[in-house]
Amino acid sequence: MVSLTADLSPLSPDRNLALELVRATEAAAIRAVPFIGRGAKEAADGAAVDAMRAFLGTVDFDGRVVIGEGEKDNAPMLFNGEHVGSGSGTGPQCDIAVDPIDGTSLTAAGRQNALSVIAVSDRGTMLDASSVFYMDKLVTGPAGVGVVDIRLPVAENIKRLAGALGKPVEEIVVSVLNRPRHEQLIQEIRDAGAGTRLMSDGDVAGGINAARHGARTDMCIGVGGSPEGIVTACAIKALGGHIQGRLWPRDDDERQRGIDAGLDMDKVYEADDLVSGNNTIFVATGVTDGQLVAGVRRDGDYLYTESVVLRSASGTLRRVASEHLVSKWL
């Protein structure tokens, strides 16, 4: 078995893998472009899945899909348990989480913050929480480590984070998915004196922006997808931030399915529970414009994409700006 941590030299396959994966997210984002603002989220997602799967097949690694498209979107490819990669047997063995479009509704409506996302970690290190669809999450940057806790009232966490950041509570901005289930949470944030940034979708970008240095938000909280929680954890490890999650079953049947799958419904999952080890890679390419990355843009015979690559082993966030000939995508 070849580990992602086997070689950290300048020629490490780990580093090469991170950049190779960008090609897959770029392809998915580009293929989704014709569907932006067209109200056809299934068609957008299908095109992105096809493109990502095709490009992953050229990457020299053995990726086992832990978080995929199959159960969530009834997709025939990139399903949980599928193996992706070139099949050469020479690359690292990894767990992989894919979301060809995080924000299909955003894409269909032509809104901001839709991304194409891949996250990987060493084989056997990524939590499989697919039996429980939702997770209650708390994400901050490095200032929140050892300071905030999802078990505390939101007002207390806001107060603590403000103190750690050295700024008044009134300047704290909290990202929350704009859902009926969050009405009370949103009110509690505002009652505490902080501001809110309400997201229509795309809580992966929301979590990363909360953890990223110099971003406009300080915290991301609330109930979103469990798969997105695992993906976000891969990015947060590279940013040195804080993430906690509690599974949020919708009914007793789902709760029992989680228990049967070996999940602890009462546990607060820390970063190392969501993704163990300190060797994660997160890559994302913008489909539509957002705070994290710009969306795909066409100018004459060229397509322009912007991506981010985060590696926890090196603690780096790199931006990749690419220029593609349109003729190669026709």
Confirm whether residue 181 is marked as ligand binding. yes
**Closest by alpha carbon to 235, among 313, 93, 119?**
119
Confirm whether residue 134 is marked as ligand binding. yes
Confirm whether residue 82 is marked as ligand binding. no
Confirm whether residue 228 is marked as ligand binding. yes
pLDDT tens for the chain, 330 residues long, are 444 444 443 333 366 898 899 999 999 999 999 999 999 999 999 999 999 999 999 999 999 999 987 554 455 678 888 999 987 777 889 999 999 999 999 999 999 999 999 999 999 999 999 899 999 999 999 999 999 999 999 999 999 999 999 999 999 999 999 999 999 999 999 999 999 999 988 889 999 999 998 889 999 999 999 999 999 999 999 999 999 999 999 999 999 999 999 999 999 999 999 999 889 999 999 999 998 999 999 999 999 999 999 999 989 999 999 999 999 987
Confirm whether residue 202 is marked as ligand binding. yes
Confirm whether residue 142 is marked as ligand binding. no
**Closest by alpha carbon to 98, among 72, 134, 137?**
72
Confirm whether residue 103 is marked as ligand binding. yes
**Residue 48 CA from chain centroid, whole number:** 16
Q: Which burial class, exposed, middle or buried, applies to 214 when counting CB atoms under 10 A from its CB (0-12, 13-18, 19+)?
A: exposed
Calpha distance 65→196 (Å, rounded): 34
Determine the 3-state secondary structure of 306 from DSSP. Answer: strand
Give the dihedral sign, CA 206/211/212/214.
positive
Confirm whether residue 7 is marked as ligand binding. no
Calpha distance 133→306 (Å, rounded): 30
SS3 sequence, 19-45? HHHHHHHHHHHHHHHHHCCCCCHHHHH
**Is the CB of residue 310 less than 8 Å from the CB of residue 235?**
yes
Determine the 3-state secondary structure of 157 from DSSP. Answer: helix
Confirm whether residue 102 is marked as ligand binding. yes
**Closest by alpha carbon to 141, among 275, 232, 228?**
232
Confirm whether residue 45 is marked as ligand binding. yes
Confirm whether residue 69 is marked as ligand binding. yes
Antiparallel, parallel or unpaired: β 219-225 and 173-177:
parallel
Domain 15-123+278-326 fold: Fructose-1,6-Bisphosphatase; Chain A, domain 1 (3.30.540)
**Closest by alpha carbon to 173, among 195, 151, 190, 191?**
195
Confirm whether residue 104 is marked as ligand binding. yes
Calpha distance 263→266 (Å, rounded): 9
The radius of gyration of the chain's CA atoms, rounded to the nearest angstrom, is 19
The CATH class that applies to domain 132-272 reads alpha beta
Confirm whether residue 46 is marked as ligand binding. no
Domain boundaries, the chain: 15-123+278-326, 132-272
Calpha distance 285→4 (Å, rounded): 22
Using alpha carbons, list the distances in angstroms from residue 266 to 106, 125, 209, 250. 32, 21, 27, 14
